[in-house]
Each structure stands twice: as C-alpha cells, then as structure tokens.
Amino acid sequence: MRGYLAVLRGSFMVGVVYRFGFLFNIIGNIVYLGVAYYLWKSIYRYSDTIRGLTFNETFLYVGLGSAIFILLKTYVDWFLNFEIREGSIASYLIKPVDFGLYYLFISFGSVLMNLAAITLPTIVMMLFVFKVKFTLGPGLILLPLSLFMAFMISFCFDYFIGLLGFYSESVWGMSTVKEIIVTVFSGALIPLQFFPDWLQNVLLWLPFQAIYHTPLMMITRPDQGWDVFLPMLLVQLVWVVVLFVGTRLFYNQAIKVLRVSGG
C-alpha cells in the first residue's frame, strides 16, 4: 500500500507543477458560472419553480455540476491509450504493482488536486459572489461517500475505454461517444428533473446518473429523508461492484492481445 500512496503523492505533485492548466480550468469555470447564472435567471424570470426545482437549487446543481465534472475526470482512457501506442506500457507491466490499482491511485492524486484547486474555490465563489444558499440535511453527511463511489464509476468507464486500446490503435471515437453519453444521461449538463418522467425512471437505474446526479442531489436538496438517499447510494454501490469486477476481468482478457512494437 505504501507504494500506491507514493504514486498518489506523485500524481498530486504533477498537478502542482503544471499550475497553468488548473489556472485555465478555474478561469473557464468562472466564465461558465457567470453564463449559467444569467441563463437560468432568465429561464426562471416568470416562474418560481420548474419541474420541482427553484432557481437556487437549479443553479447550485448546474454550477457545482461543472466543478464535480472536472473533479471526477480521470483521463485514464487517454493516458492508457497513449502508452499502448508508444510502447511505454511495457515498463508498467513489469513493475511489482497491480496495473489497475496503479492507475486508480494516479487518478486519486488528480482528484485531490482538482478538489483543492477547482471544486472548493467554486463553492466559495457560489457562496460569496452569487449568494447561493446551501441547505443542511442528511444528504451532506452522505455526500463524501457518494462522491467516492461516483469517482469509482467514472474511473471504471475511463479505464474500460483505455483497455480497448489493446484491440485498436485509437480510442478517440469511443472516448468521445462515452463522454457524450455520460454528459447527457448523467445529469451533468442539465438536471434529470427536466427529462420526461418515463426517461427519468430509466436513467435512475443506469450507472451514468450515479456519477453526477446522485451527489448533486445530495448537495442541492440535502434535506430529503434517508429513505430517498439510501436507495440512491445502493444503486451507486451496485454499479461500483459490477463495473470494478467487470474491468478487472476485461483486463485479464485484453492483456493477452497486447503487442508492443515501440518504447
């Protein structure tokens, strides 16, 4: 475990070194918050609630959605595919570490950096600049656990797409399709409450909403009862187990077709 913690620390320090990338992410997030604020303000001009959500809840959902989107983005699919094409993946396979856990702890380091540099400043900005009101409730107690499981699901998706690089020279198309599906059907773009009821009932059982919708609802409407949040956490847990085991099994098959011609 000490070796994996060293990997986590190294990944975090890489983020510290490349500060300009995070600076541009912060600037982009500020611009996004401003645009989202005035856009939804105009939408709510003639109504206090839309689909059961107030303006404060919707803006909180959308604003924090962008910060959590950056927080949970691992880019493992791109890193893994690049190393497969360059042949440098061979150096990782001979190390005395578990290949999947190695990439998992690299992603943990990135998450901690994103949390400190983007997510927390976004929360502060929404509190003191946009004057958003946060409600207290049991959802905030369960939020850290929900975010952890959301990260695991996001990692498994990216890791699976990266492993497909063992079979193809590029995962660009598959990664792009994955990003579109997850962004639209997870509630990261717009709250799921704005979807038709029949589609909501389908999406709430799929893994996509477990990445963004579940933790975002715990932030925007945390005063709902335990009977609302515990089933949502159970859905997350089931998908974490299914996807983690599935990617481990898929790796055992994908590694058999690896051919290293560079490096």
Per-residue model confidence as pLDDT tens digits over 47-62: 888 877 888 888 888 8
Domain assignment of residue 113, given as a range: 2-257
User: Cα separation of 193 and 187, whole Å?
Assistant: 9
Higher pLDDT, 142 or 121: 142
Mean pLDDT computed over 248-254: 90
Give the pLDDT of residue 150: 93
The first and second tokens of residue 92, run together, are 């990782």
Closest listed residue to residue 114, CA positions, set 84, 151, 80, 78: 151
Is residue 263 domain-resident?
Answer: no
Mean pLDDT over the full length of the chain: 84
The pLDDT of residue 219 is above 70: yes
Is residue 35 domain-resident?
Answer: yes
DSSP H helices in the chain: 2-17, 19-43, 55-72, 76-86, 89-93, 99-114, 120-128, 138-163, 172-185, 197-203, 209-220, 226-254
Is residue 104 domain-resident?
Answer: yes
The pLDDT of residue 63 is above 80: yes
| Beta carbons within 10 angstroms of residue 1's beta carbon | 7
Higher pLDDT, 8 or 218: 218
Give the pLDDT of residue 34: 87
For the chain, give the number of residues: 263
Predicted structure pTM score? 0.87
Is residue 18 domain-resident?
Answer: yes
Structural domains in the chain (count): 1
Amino acid making up residue 236: Q
Is residue 185 domain-resident?
Answer: yes
Phi/psi of residue 96, each to 5°? -80, 50
Helix/strand/coil for 132 = coil
Is residue 190 domain-resident?
Answer: yes
The pLDDT of residue 94 is above 80: no
> What are the residues whose beta carbons fall under 8 Å from the beta carbon of 71, sequence distance 6 or more?
111, 114, 115, 118, 119, 147, 151
95: left (phi over 0), alpha (psi -120 to 50) or beta: beta
Which DSSP string corresponds to 14-28?
HHHH-HHHHHHHHHH
Longest pairwise C-alpha distance within the chain: 63
Q: How confident is the model at residue 17 (pLDDT cuts 50, 70, 90)?
A: low
Is residue 166 domain-resident?
Answer: yes
Give the pLDDT of residue 249: 93
The pLDDT of residue 263 is above 70: no
Q: What percent of the chain has pLDDT over 70?
A: 92
Could you read off the pLDDT of 128-166 as tens digits, one per residue?
888 888 888 888 899 999 999 999 999 999 999 999 888
